[in-house]
Structure 1
Amino acid sequence: MNVIAKKAKRFGAKVNRKVQSRIDEVNRKQNKKKSLKSLRETNVRSDLMLLPASGEQMLFRVTHKLNLSKIHADSRSCMQKILEEEGMIHWEFPTKANVASTIHTLQTNQNRLLTILKNRPEFSHWYFQYIKQDGKPAGAPRLVREINGTTKFDAVRLYERVAFSPTSNFRSGSSQGVLLSFWTEAQLGSNESVDSDGYSETIEQVIVAPIWNENATLLPNPVSRQEEFHNSLEKAMKTLSTQVDFAIDAVYTWVDGSDNVWQAQKASALNVLDAEEFVDEAVSDARFADHDELKYSLRSIAQFAPWIRKIWIVSAGQTPKWLNMNNPRVEVVSHEDIWPDEVGLPNFNSHAIESNLHRIKGLADHYLYFNDDFFLTRPLDPGAFFFGNGLSKVFFSRAMVEFTEVSTLDNASSIAAKNARTLLDSRGYQLFSRKFFHTPSALNRKIVEQAESEFPDAFEITRSAQFRDTMDIAVSGSFYFNYALATGSAVPGQIKYDYIDPATESGRDRMKRMINRRDKDCIVINDGSTPETDEERLRTDRFIRESLDLLLPAKSEFEL
């Protein structure tokens, strides 16, 4: 009977918990409806709208000037200002660029701070979530006006939801918000020897982090040990060896294939070269087709990688008509500016151009090399491409560099990779068999210079070829990756990526799915690899433009 009674008691308790959980959920929804109704009745802002999100209606600020990196920075500065105005001690440690900013303060400030936020009209459309010790949210997001000031919790995430338009899924969310971490007071005791016969206990007043972070989880109490707190905090706030704090630039290669001058130079160069030496697709017009990819790729940097220091666009003396040349963060560099001599100019060979990128005057030691059809697709931290010690990350694919001789069956990337393998093998470096994802390349200028000093002939041969040639190496691609791996300057990394061929049904479907989910770090849209009729090319061009406008609809600071 006792066993049956215990089971019945446990079952009853389980039922009660489920019932209570259901009641809490109903109450939450009712309170949310009341809050939204009250907000609609009192709202005088025309930029606030209820939009569907996560299966329910949520409040959004709508603006065509949506910039995720700016919202991230503004949310942080807004919270800092309130804490400073209220005289509440607070501090920050370096955090990743693709997560909510974390601001630390004392548990004793919690009720007063949240009451202030709850009553400030500028936060009326913001959402909050309680955060547990494991860093995960406790419950669904609710409007800040629903905060219960008496509830005790470890941390809270606050953020506003912003949409580009009522129909766009380009939106900000919790990653652009602020995490308030409330440290609790505690005492640490330790035994200290007094004499040979006894001990006395030393009590240290400290504060303890509610959620783990990699900088510090315990500090002297700032109230009772102010000087010690500031000394410890100064050390804890320094950049750790795991964190990237060096400048990173972005370098693009770009050409306007519709430019008459450039077309004339190309035709002249073709007349004096032996066509049999060229890789099959080297002079394909599709290789130089422009769908405004560069404009959208720069938008992706503005939205998702604001930590890029400067953008360099390497071109054949051409400048995009839409580019804002007054922006100090972007500069156009001509081939003549980076070529050591006139041999190979004018040039139409991406391998040759890439072999000279490290000669850009003013280029940071660490840089990402982009083709103009590369796109970041969600916020990223520089740690996605580099380690804090400066090592590059490389991203292996499952595509192979087969151990066969270079032949007409090989495409340009396979030829360049085989040439690189032969070259590295000649110096006793380890062999490789795999290709790499077509993503932004994380490069170190000093390592490229080191490689050029070790293989000067290969660099010279590559940059001398006006069109892609069977002797090329990919200095900013497979050659660098494998040389850096062999010399301990790079290690394998992981990245969520997709290769989109917009001329295929599969590629178009994956592009649509990625835009809806926004679940990749970056993509490449490789137009021109699938043969198409003129009519099909027009359809593909329209698809690319429409897709990019859905993915990145907001103009960037780099546009006129």
Structure 2
Amino acid sequence: MRASTATALPSRALRALRHPVRTSRRLARRWATRRRHARYERLAPVRALVADGHAELTTARGRRVVAVRRARTTPWELAAETADLVSALLDDAGIVHFATNHRGTRVTTWAVLETDWPRALAALADLGTAGDPVYAAPARSSLGSPLATDAAVLATLPVLRVFRYVRDLATGRLLGADMGCELHRWSADEHGRWTAPARTGVVQCVDDLSLGRRARWDGASEPVLAVNEVPDAFEVTFPVDAVYLWVDDADDAWRARRDVVRARLGLAPAGAVGQGDDAHRFRDRGELRHSMRSIETYAPWIRQIYLVTDDQVPTWLDTSDGRVRVVDHREIFEDPSLLPTYNSHSIGAQVHRIPGLSEHYLLMNDDVLLNRAVEPADFFTPAGQLKVTFSRSARPDVTAADRTPVEHARERSAALLVRDHGRRPSRLFAHVPVPQRIDVAEELLERYPEEVRATLASPFRAPSDVVICSWLHLYTALFTGRAVPSALRFGYFNVGDASARAKMEKYRTLAGLSTLCVNDVPTDDPALDAEVGAWLGDWLARRFPTPARFERDQAAGAVPVPGDGRPAARADDEEGPWASATASPRT
């Protein structure tokens, strides 16, 4: 009887019965925390902030918090803003501090000497008392406590995450601990050396506190130890650009040029807009616009965005802004007589010729979206090696008669790699941003001149093609020590599949994924195809509602927040409706 009762009880209840004293102490601490937080919410400046609509009372991980309300924000901007806030407070208090995080990383780590630690927390507590809801949490914890009431408790910790809870009204997300900065308490030993409390920084032990300056990812200057003015061996310091290949088949002039080429080759016209076996490769359902928004949200460190087109410019793109540069095929093709071309294999082989392109760049499809904050080190090593993300799918071994033009091109590319490197390329590549190097691209053109020339001469995909910018580029880099496998988490969704669309509507499915591919595979039913297209446009607008600075009509591109702006998403999830820890679907 006793055993059956024990097994019926939850594990938490069993622990409470076995350790009554420990349980009572934990409950006492919890109630004390709640009372302190309730007192903070009753402070006149905080109540005024909420009453004015600049903040709201909500819950995060089951704990009541005060969240600042923002019309729009991004993880990178919010982290930089918090770092600047803390730095300004420390400067005003005359407290020496310096950044110890690696260059190019999003979260700033401020080092503060233990002799100044109490004053640093007191300055942050005063800010909270004045009505700025600044929170802090232990390292690797997302449960924040207001510094205005909990500074004395938090002062005993050597590492703190300092942040504001922020409600992004555009998306409904509640941003928290991951969007702030860190404070590390450095201690001195008997030899006068200062030591960091954690081994995560670019420097961990020094005896000389001489300071210098360095540039942050956004160009802002920040204090560092003099020894860190020189880039560290484990930092990615080179610029990275992004390149899109894009076309819109709704453009009548573009369609007319294509039909002329098809007629010259004895091919039938392509048919109506959005029709044909490969129509999904040319149509635009808003993917490009929202993919670029995802870069501005999650990778603002991208130096320049290039859009490679065939005499086309998206109607919504403001080219005068300078953030996105439109590059016509005529600018990059060494032999313009081969134009026009509608072969992505051919265009990809000339991308590295973009004037001003950085040595390291990301090749983007418009259906690939960033889903979380990413850093240069997610795609390149500090030495400049490519981080290649492979699919779980292997290259299909099928007879020549059953191959598609794409599979023919893969087989031809694989045969060249086996011939030159003695190794069989078996894995397909994931649908993610593809890292590239100009030197590798130039080397391939010199090594395979005949194969490249045949590919460039094909205005449409053909069995004689080779896949230069993916198969030859990435595997050659891998076989020659210029690339390594990547552990980037990604998701692939065929939006023509109803089950895939259902998964995409569940925020837990997407949590933890750095990139998403929303592959618009056509269906056999025109009515269903139109329905899927409408759903995809709506999903993209809900997912990335904030217009980028290079969009012409900012208001038209934004999705209004329903009601008074309070999100319909779960209020108790710190990462809001688009993030939580779960496994990733992969191809």
Give the TM interval when normalised to the shorter protein.
0.7 to 0.9
- 1:170 is aligned to 173
Q: Give the aligned residue type for 2:48.
A: T
Change (3 A) 1:256 1:449: same
Q: Which moved more, 1:529-538 or 1:461-470?
A: 529-538
In the other structure, the counterpart of 2:568 is: none
Shift in Å at residue 554 of structure 1?
1.3
The equivalent of 1:180 in structure 2 is 183
Distance 2:111 2:246 in 1: 44
Q: Which residue of 1 aligns with 2:27?
A: 22
Residue number in structure 2 paired with 1:147: 150
What is the CA-CA distance between 1:318 and the residue it aligns to? 0.9
Give the Cα separation in 2 of the matches to 1:12 and 1:109: 43
CA positional deviation for 1:515:
7.0
Q: How far has the Cα of 1:275 moved from its partner?
A: 4.8
Q: How far, CA to CA, are the matches of 2:80 and 2:344 in structure 1?
A: 37
Match of 1:307 among 298, 301, 308: 301
Once structures 1 and 2 are overlaid, which stretch shifts more, 282-291 or 250-259?
282-291
Which residue identity is paired with 1:182? R
8 Å CA contact 1:282–1:467 kept in 2: the answer is no
Alignment partners' CA distance in 2, 1:112 and 1:264: 71
Q: Cα offset for 1:379?
A: 0.2
> Contact 1:283/1:467 (CA < 8 Å) preserved in 2?
no
Hey, what's the Cα distance between the residues in 2 that align with 1:27 and 1:227? 41
Residue 163 of structure 2 is matched in structure 1 by 159
Question: In the alignment, is the contact (CA less than 8 A) between 2:127 and 2:148 conserved in 1?
Answer: no
Contact 1:99 / 1:175 at 8 angstroms: preserved in 2?
A: no
What code does the residue aligned with 2:175 have? S
The answer to whether the aligner puts 1:208 opposite 2:208 as a matched pair is no
Q: Does 1:472 align with 2:472?
A: no
Structure 1 residues 102 and 257 mapped into 2: Cα distance closer, same or farther (>3 Å)? same
RMSD of aligned Cα (Å): 2.7
Question: SS in structure 2 opposite 1:246?
Answer: coil
Do the aligned partners of residues 123 and 61 (structure 1) sit closer, same or farther apart at CA in structure 2, a change above 3 Å counting?
A: same
User: In structure 2, the residue corresponding to 1:148 is in which secondary structure?
Assistant: helix
Report the more deviating stretch, 354-363 or 427-436: 427-436
Change in 2 beyond 3 A, CA 1:290/1:83:
same
Which of 33, 42, 47 does residue 41 from structure 1 map onto? 47
Counterpart Cα distance in 1 of 2:136 and 2:225: 28
> Aligned residue for 1:497?
490
Distance 2:102 2:397 in 1: 44
Q: Paired residue for 2:343?
A: 349
Q: Aligned residue for 2:584?
A: none
Does residue 90 of structure 2 align to residue 90 of structure 1? Answer: no
1:113, 1:498 → 2: CA distance? 42
SS of the aligned residue for 1:470 comes to: coil
1:352-367 pair list within 5 angstroms? 352-367=346-361
Distance 1:256 1:316 in 2: 9
Gaps of 5+ in 2: 1-15, 213-223, 553-587
Instruction: Name the amino acid aligned to 1:448.
Output: A
State the distance in 2 between where 1:62 and 1:319 align.
Answer: 36
Offset at residue 52 of structure 1 (A): 4.3
Q: Is the 8 A contact 2:100 2:108 kept in 1?
A: no
- Residues 55, 148 of structure 1: alpha-carbon distance in 2 compared, 3 angstrom cutoff: closer
1:127 alignment partner in structure 2: 135
SS at match of 1:531: coil
Alignment partner, residue 241 of structure 1: 233
- 1:514 is displaced (CA, Å) by 4.4
1:509-531 superposed Cα distances (whole Å, 9 cap, x missing partner): 2212347753200011110x242
Return the alpha-carbon distance in structure 2 between the equivalents of residues 159 and 328 of structure 1.
33
Structure-2 change in CA distance of 1:274 and 1:126 (3 Å): farther
Instruction: Return the match for 1:217 from 184, 204, 207.
Output: 204
Contact 1:67-1:554 at 8 Å conserved across structures: no
1:339 partnered with 2:346? no
Shift, 1:412, TM fit: 4.4
CA contact (8 A) 1:65 1:555 kept: no
Q: After superposition, give the CA deviation of every residue in 1:62-121 in whole Å (9 maximum; x if it has no partner).
A: 223222222122111222222222221111134375652111111111111111111125
Residue 500 of structure 1: CA displacement?
0.8
Specify the SS of the correspondent of 1:149.
Answer: helix
Distance in structure 2 (CA, Å) of the matches to 1:549 and 1:382: 26
